[in-house]
Structure 1
Amino acid sequence: MTDAHETAADRSLRTTGGAPPDETGSVAGEAPIPLLEPREGIPPVIADAAALAEVTAAFAAGTGPVAVDAERASGYRYGQRAYLVQLRREGAGSALIDPVACPDLSGLGEALADVEWVLHAATQDLPCLREIGMVPTRIFDTELAGRLAGFPRVGLGAMVESVLGFVLEKGHSAVDWSTRPLPEPWLRYAALDVELLVDLRDALEKELDRQDKLEWAREEFDAIASAPPAEPRKDPWRRTSGMHKVRRRRQLAVVRELWLTRDRVARRRDVSPGKVIGDAAIVEAALALPADAHAMAALHGFGRVNRRQLEQWQAAVDRAKALPEAQLPAPGQAVAGPPPPRAWADKDPVAAARLAAARAAVSELAERLNMPQENLITPDTVRRVCWEPPQRVDTESVAEALTRHGARPWQVRQVTPVLTAALTADTAPGA
């Protein structure tokens, strides 16, 4: 496998001719090669301070970008913490680090602070990496690069296959990474995730440059790297699946109390909230408003719960029932910005016409640039500008509005002309 590894980037250019793959995402010319083993074998898991110091020194002395990935235990454990961190850099090889045994990786993060980090779907991994002290200043996101370049499938496996011509092992992405010790097949899978990440980065950089999109990508990467940590979501209980069935304020209060109780239990047990009780059970209890634990036990999702736990859930329902009217949650969550687009036609038909014209113009431009509309400009930005357009609609004022709503300079340059034209068109209803 050594020769295949060493020629991965060259092979990608040879098999694709420097162009992205076809609509199916397949590489023309050669059958993909299964990638079964890391080139230096599976590295040992770093689980103590001495081994971590050695790895930190080795990666600090390496050259070029560093490939970084993290595995979480979504669906098994509470929260989104990292349970394995994988890295690879030229001159240092690959490393697998156990962040449970080594919870502070700030020294490693500082050693790589000035290095470009290559991640796939960076926004998914950066929060859990930040928690353990790993904060990059420069990144290259291979998933986002694939979107900007117009690739139809941008999962890591699909990208490695279509761009480099190798097939990554599948099947362990959704396992419980909090398991200790981690089985060898899982470790092999984890090491292979960073095996060709820098090769993929190099090939995508060439493709973006060929399409004159490299500077656009760099602006996007800089925006991700410099973004502050996300603020905690307000009223997260409102995202309970099936909430659309819950109409009455008293029932909403039951959802809230059950959700908060479940969250406390899940945090204490360190398990996914869904493993405590499901969203469907919460919604059913809110609709039924059970009078006692016996009635609660008859509801779907609560039948196998023991008596003590049933009393805990019934107590949450009873607390919601006892709330005075003034403390009941409002039916809808207050949302900053324009109303949902489905309400525009009734609230402001002219704005609805503007939005329709703007959406059509952005869609056409995205198709011409061969990228998803949401990567060209966020739908929320388009809605905000259409709902409250500048007093004087010209290219300068539209560009200022886009910038104010967070659009990057490349997005402003591309979108301003078509959005200005859409906003100044005769969009009066019936015109």
Structure 2
Amino acid sequence: MSDYVVIDTLSAFDDACRALTAGTGPVGVDVERASGFRYSQRAYLIQVFRRDAGVFLIDPIAFDDLAPLQQAIGDAEWILHAASQDLPSLRERDLAPPRIFDTELASRLLGHERVGLAAVVEDSLGIVLKKEHSAADWSTRPLPEAWLEYAALDVVHLPDVQDVLVAELAEQGKTEFARQEFEATRTRAPKPPREDPWRRLSGLHQVRGARNLAVARELWLAREEFAQQQDVSPGRLVPDRSLVAAVLAAPESKGALAGLSAFNGRASRSQLDRWWAAIERGRTSDDLPRQRVARDTLPPPRAWADRNPEADARLKAAKPLVEARAEELGMPTENLLTPDMLRRTAWQPPAEITPESVGDALTALGARAWQIDETAQLIADAFVDLPQTEEDPSPTDS
């Protein structure tokens, strides 16, 4: 086992940045968070590797400003695995790659059966990585040496893996596919805040009535506020199932809530006043939520034959053609075109169906140019001889 050191002083950080500036080629980057332990998705360790520079394990919590790291990497390409998972945490610290290569996404486009980092490294280089610390609490300080070795190995092989995957992409004629996918991942805008995020509460479907939903909402909001204050994952304070159990039990007093065996978790008793106050707010609130909320979602395909038979026919005609093309290209269908894009196009197609109009519809849904080139003609051919309704139904609740 090598001796890896966490960089948490300005002098060590400056040395690392100088070394990275002098390094050559693209830069392997990875992020470790504390998902399931902390409230935030902030980075608790940033690993960086560059040839002729070495590997550096940087504690981002120790520094107010990571701009020198961005400057040291300069305009070099960043190699990440499953970049969409790490980019938000990096952007939170003002670290933004000018270009990326995503080894997981490349592996998907190439049709690899296994796309986890350990599998990709093993398949590409014949090196076996152990992944026993992937779900660790990376906010731990000091970090154990075994964790540091694990973290370092997540990046030291990335340039070599990239070399192998670049050659495979070229051999399969997918270099441009990958370039467009990487750029779409790099520039993808953050998802807008979810309306009524409390409705994500697992088990909420059991709750009936606007008043009980108001209680569930207030319990969720109270837990969210406390979790943020403590920087602890909400579910570690009081699990979702316990909040729902409290709503369903409808306790008549704080003591009854305390005696509810299903209401448990590390903060269920220590913060009893907080939870009881939330229940009382829900029971007296004038702001009662709706039982059902309209969303921009389509009915499940199994319901299309009754709800929109023309759309059902379009989907059934186009889907096997897209699947066959994905098989020809040697990649998962969802990487060629997401099921949602195809469904939305089938549900509400262009007024005049041509490859160009289908391509415009797919573009509006976020499809990349290469995906449109590969699928628009197929979809148009599948749709063109099928009957069209004058006005297709709008998306409704799923």
With the length of structure 2 as denominator, give the TM-score of the two structures: 0.92
1:97 to 50, 58, 69: 58
2:394 corresponding residue in structure 1: none
Shift of 1:400: 1.0
Number of equivalences: 388
| 1:193 and 2:163 aligned | no
| 1:82 and 2:30 aligned | no
Identical positions, percent: 52
Q: Is the Cα–Cα contact under 8 Å of residues 281 and 299 in structure 1 kept in the other structure?
A: no
1:370 to 303, 307, 330: 330
Shift of 1:321: 1.4
2:292 corresponding residue in structure 1: 332
Q: Is the Cα–Cα contact under 8 Å of residues 68 and 194 in structure 1 kept in the other structure?
A: yes
2:274 corresponding residue in structure 1: 312
CA distance in 2, matches of 1:307, 1:233: 30
CA distance in 2, matches of 1:234, 1:202: 43
CA distance in 1, matches of 2:165, 2:61: 34
Secondary structure of 2:28's aligned partner: strand
2:165 to 204, 225, 238: 204
Read off the aligned partner of 1:417 and give its amino acid letter: Q
1:72 to 33, 37, 40: 33
Shift of 1:340: 4.2
2:180 corresponding residue in structure 1: 219
Shift of 1:334: 2.8
Q: Is the Cα–Cα contact under 8 Å of residues 243 and 263 in structure 2 kept in the other structure?
A: no
1:360 to 313, 316, 320: 320
CA distance in 1, matches of 2:20, 2:92: 20
2:86 to 112, 125, 142: 125
2:118 corresponding residue in structure 1: 157
Q: Is the Cα–Cα contact under 8 Å of residues 242 and 264 in structure 2 kept in the other structure?
A: no
Deviates more, 1:345-354 or 1:411-420: 345-354
| 1:398 and 2:358 aligned | yes
With the length of structure 1 as denominator, give the TM-score of the two structures: 0.85
Aligned alpha-carbon RMSD (Å): 1.9
2:240 corresponding residue in structure 1: 279
| 1:60 and 2:34 aligned | no
Read off the aligned partner of 1:149 and give its amino acid letter: L
Secondary structure of 1:389's aligned partner: coil
CA 1:161/1:308 → structure 2, altered by over 3 Å: closer, same or farther? closer
Shift of 1:411: 0.3
What pairs with 1:148-187 in structure 2 (closer than 5 Å)? 148-187=109-148
Unaligned runs of 5+ in 1: 1-36
Q: Is the Cα–Cα contact under 8 Å of residues 31 and 86 in structure 2 kept in the other structure?
A: yes
CA distance in 2, matches of 1:418, 1:195: 42
2:370 corresponding residue in structure 1: 410
Q: Is the Cα–Cα contact under 8 Å of residues 143 and 154 in structure 1 kept in the other structure?
A: yes
Q: Is the Cα–Cα contact under 8 Å of residues 150 and 372 in structure 1 kept in the other structure?
A: yes
What pairs with 1:225-240 in structure 2 (closer than 5 Å)? 225-240=186-201
2:99 to 123, 135, 138: 138
CA 1:307/1:125 → structure 2, altered by over 3 Å: closer, same or farther? closer
Residue by residue over 1:355-410, the C-alpha shift from the partner in whole angstroms, topping out at 9 and shown as x without a partner, is 23232222222222221222111222112211110000011111111111111000
Deviates more, 1:216-225 or 1:299-308: 299-308
Deviates more, 1:302-311 or 1:282-291: 302-311
CA distance in 1, matches of 2:321, 2:310: 17
Q: Is the Cα–Cα contact under 8 Å of residues 82 and 99 in structure 1 kept in the other structure?
A: yes
Q: Is the Cα–Cα contact under 8 Å of residues 67 and 197 in structure 1 kept in the other structure?
A: yes
Q: Is the Cα–Cα contact under 8 Å of residues 16 and 56 in structure 2 kept in the other structure?
A: yes
Secondary structure of 1:100's aligned partner: helix
Secondary structure of 2:112's aligned partner: coil
Shift of 1:54: 1.6
Secondary structure of 1:70's aligned partner: strand
Shift of 1:281: 0.8
Secondary structure of 2:62's aligned partner: coil
CA distance in 2, matches of 1:149, 1:137: 24
CA distance in 2, matches of 1:180, 1:427: 64
CA distance in 2, matches of 1:155, 1:128: 20
CA distance in 1, matches of 2:99, 2:370: 18
Shift of 1:307: 5.3
Read off the aligned partner of 2:182 and give its amino acid letter: F
